[in-house]
Structure 1
């Protein structure tokens, strides 16, 4: 029997500029042997003709350049998000649109737990609740007999009840930046960013890797959820890469049933630069066909909707104090210099434009001191990067991965409250970045928003908020550009575009099958296209 298989499709969108369209893809030994018409591939006979997707559209498998394996663990806990959401088992969870609804769900969950077990919930978005902050008293009114930890949707803020304040002895840590205090100097229960969260994590012995996000079961759940929305390569964009994590990564990805390629990024904030560089060197030879190492993740500031992002003057539109750094700026500059000099690729979390400025300044200095061709350092999120900064990024050869989903989920909030109407027009300035020939991609940042590259592409194309308003028409991109952002351009930011991201001879046979052609449907229907399945290295995985 031949080991050559030819996949037939109604049409193939290749992302190969030399041959953008085809009808068949020939696969041998997990790689693409040829792309074209059946007649043009006839010389590869004998072959098996696979017609399961004969009425579908094939594209390169989607590449998710910013997600977290935590998506596979979060559903162990109670969902409190504002928007309706589907869990991996297919259950639809209604959105939580008030503190009263939150309290009711917390009571229901607490009643199902053993008496001594902490209650963990996630996804809360209190910025939708008329700007009220979630205090420990509000949580106490629902559950007071055990520690309660509520993780906000942005993952940069948690809120806890009084039992947790006592268990973590937060009064003793009141001087730590990020532990929010009331007028009397007592902790309110709101903890902003990792330094403040650490006391609670330690006291409750939580594995904030995060919350078991790195165990093999969570990784499999994460991978399956990714494959179901057409992803064939995804990042886990903050991973400790310690020995326990490495064991889980290798065990999960080593299975034939694991349906994606995984690219974990070193959580650099957990190491000194010297130790982090040493750790990266130690894991380079531990990858395989489904596990690739390379990116180093840095986190500069927090989130805009959580008011922890660092914004340039005039700061927050509604007068809220500016956000906070996750490390002293001079320490982050040193980290950028060290990893760059060591030849490593940085993926730098920069939500606010002041954080973008810090990263660009440090990268410009590093490139001046230690010039490097094709470094592909990437700014992640960069939501309100301004036009002068875009020009600097282009000059420095920096890539951008923008959080396009923010346009839908928080666009109205940003316009009306956090950044105001003018800056909101340049929220995720995708068209401006492409006009400067900056390699730019978009992402979902799961579990912050659900996995779904077609939805991220829809956001980039339509720029529509959850209320139906248009936000910055001049920054819209075409459907073809958006598809490139979730395939070849995303692969480029991971230094994997020689292997994945387009359908052309020699590359990995990674594909997604769609029920409709995204170039032919109404652009507003892009997010509704059904994913039929994926192909990873020639192996078919049906979507569930």
Structure 2
């Protein structure tokens, strides 16, 4: 019997329930029937449900709303088929800890070991998570990768997913040489490709060769979707996005099948990406929505305007990158933004727009202001994603336009030191992800991991927004810190609001879906610096209990 066919009401008893409902912030009992919450309160408030089944499994646990990851990708489930070569430790969907690699020699050694395990000499070696910014002058170009093999194709996706490195064999297979005229194909002083490919146009010839490997089209792989569900469950997440989706027929069939399985522990929100597959336009999203379910929701549309700050492909206003690097790349030319956005806005859909650099944010605000002046729409909730370098004037414009912002708070931990010294300088690094300023202006705020770019773990993301601390311990922009309560709101009701789903998820109150994160301790009571260390016992989705597997 599924939770949506429950014959009796079920009452969950907990040590404490954090509801995220300001009218009733705390409780100890929650009653669930047919997958939805019917009552919240203390034991005495459950008298109406005298014949209910009382589940005291959580009597020593703390419940909060199932966490909502408003910016991540199903790639998190697909990437683990490739070799992890990142700088920081990372757990895979089975809970195994992969140690971070701190030298280029360690990266080469892990690649060589993985190559030795491949079945034949022609199988491509795929890896992910690399970021050259941690290695100073060290590079991972053709010369270094050819040390692993000059004959086997090798592809190493950067942590940002906006760049990759390949060896000479892959350059040849992809048809990239001195005569290739594609923006983002990096070349040395002699005009020879170095093996670094920047942004999607330059990487496309490689993706055409390797197919679904390291691809954003993970929705077409049932195992990848199931692995993604496990990663989310381990982190206490009950709703997560796939914020770049083709909405391909194969991908939609896979998502419908996997999410329909009552044992799958996650609700998924795919966002259509017209830059990857423009066919069908807004009707493609509406058609998908007609076949959605309470575990598969459609509506967001994703645009990527610029690149990655640490990859030096984000677009910055003057003075630009502190090392004098050229300004980044436009993934959509500014003159085309209004024409790109307007058809989806007119169709009643919600725009989620990637703007990392402040120049990208400025041109997006210009386009949105012009669009909304011509075509006003109440409660559109168009959302700026990342929006990392927005200044006070840009935040004020965003507030006037009724925008939401989903900040990439994890960046401060993983790349804060690099931003302060190598990309934008200490002053700009301190103003990155200005969540406190946005809240003061009344902007609805969420915070995110962008998994697989960083680990999918909202409690860690909340810690990042509260502490604003780099991996080396430096605090950047103390005045932009969130309180613990604000950060918890941002990973629950705040994120749900940016997805237009706050009427069904994000808080524990009657009428909403019975989605809970089950924690070993109270995140509102621990010291702020300990927020990232809270243990997740498991989740509840629509009243069905999903204990996290033992590690």
Q: TM-score range by the shorter chain?
A: over 0.9
Answering whether residue 273 of structure 2 is matched by residue 267 of structure 1, we say: yes
Q: What is the CA–CA distance in structure 1 between the aligned matches of 2:139 and 2:366, rounded to whole Å?
A: 34
Equivalent in the alignment of 1:257:
263
Alignment of 1:136-215 (within 5 A): 136-171=142-177, 174-206=180-212, 209-210=215-216, 212=218, 214-215=220-221
Q: In the alignment, is the contact (CA less than 8 A) between 1:72 and 1:213 conserved in 2? A: no
Q: What is the CA–CA distance in structure 1 between the aligned matches of 2:217 and 2:131, rounded to whole Å?
A: 19
Specify which of 221, 228, 239 is matched with residue 233 of structure 1: 239
TM-score (norm 1): 0.98
Q: What is the CA–CA distance in structure 2 between the aligned matches of 1:329 and 1:538, rounded to whole Å?
A: 46
Shift of the 205–501 alpha-carbon distance from structure 1 to 2, 3 Å rule, reads closer
Gaps of 5+ in 2: 1-5
Q: What is the CA–CA distance in structure 1 between the aligned matches of 2:504 and 2:225, rounded to whole Å?
A: 23
Shift of 1:333: 2.8
Equivalent in the alignment of 1:126:
132
Answering whether residue 23 of structure 2 is matched by residue 14 of structure 1, we say: no
Q: What CA deviation, in whole Å up to 9, does each residue of 1:326-361 have, x standing for no partner?
A: 132222331112221222100001111111111111
Alignment of 1:101-500 (within 5 A): 101-113=106-118, 114-171=120-177, 174-206=180-212, 209-210=215-216, 212=218, 214-272=220-278, 275-500=280-505
Q: What CA deviation, in whole Å up to 9, does each residue of 1:107-153 have, x standing for no partner?
A: 11111112110110000011010144432111112221211000000
Q: What CA deviation, in whole Å up to 9, does each residue of 1:350-409 have, x standing for no partner?
A: 111111111111111110010000000001011111110000000000000000000110
Shift of the 190–211 alpha-carbon distance from structure 1 to 2, 3 Å rule, reads farther
More displaced 10-residue stretch of structure 1: 41-50 or 205-214: 205-214
Q: What is the CA–CA distance in structure 2 between the aligned matches of 1:476 and 1:505, rounded to whole Å?
A: 32
Shift of 1:316: 0.6
More displaced 10-residue stretch of structure 1: 491-500 or 181-190: 181-190
Q: What CA deviation, in whole Å up to 9, does each residue of 1:312-337 have, x standing for no partner?
A: 11111121111101132222331112
Q: What is the CA–CA distance in structure 1 between the aligned matches of 2:490 and 2:475, rounded to whole Å?
A: 21
Q: What is the CA–CA distance in structure 2 between the aligned matches of 1:341 and 1:543, rounded to whole Å?
A: 42
Q: What is the CA–CA distance in structure 2 between the aligned matches of 1:278 and 1:207, rounded to whole Å?
A: 29
Q: In the alignment, is the contact (CA less than 8 A) between 2:216 and 2:244 conserved in 1? A: no
Root-mean-square deviation (CA, aligned residues, Å) is: 1.3
Equivalent in the alignment of 2:3:
none
Q: What CA deviation, in whole Å up to 9, does each residue of 1:161-195 have, x standing for no partner?
A: 00011111102762110111111111111111111
Q: What is the CA–CA distance in structure 2 between the aligned matches of 1:355 and 1:206, rounded to whole Å?
A: 30
Is the partner of 1:123 in helix, strand or coil? strand
Answering whether residue 70 of structure 2 is matched by residue 26 of structure 1, we say: no
Q: What is the CA–CA distance in structure 2 between the aligned matches of 1:108 and 1:454, rounded to whole Å?
A: 34
Q: What is the CA–CA distance in structure 2 between the aligned matches of 1:359 and 1:329, rounded to whole Å?
A: 8
Q: In the alignment, is the contact (CA less than 8 A) between 1:209 and 1:239 conserved in 2? A: no
Gaps of 5+ in 1: none
Q: What is the CA–CA distance in structure 1 between the aligned matches of 2:381 and 2:546, rounded to whole Å?
A: 31
Shift of 1:463: 0.8
Equivalent in the alignment of 2:530:
525
Equivalent in the alignment of 2:59:
54
Shift of 1:214: 3.4
Regions of 4+ moved over 6 Å: none
Q: In the alignment, is the contact (CA less than 8 A) between 1:214 and 1:248 conserved in 2? A: yes
Q: What is the CA–CA distance in structure 1 between the aligned matches of 2:372 and 2:127, rounded to whole Å?
A: 43
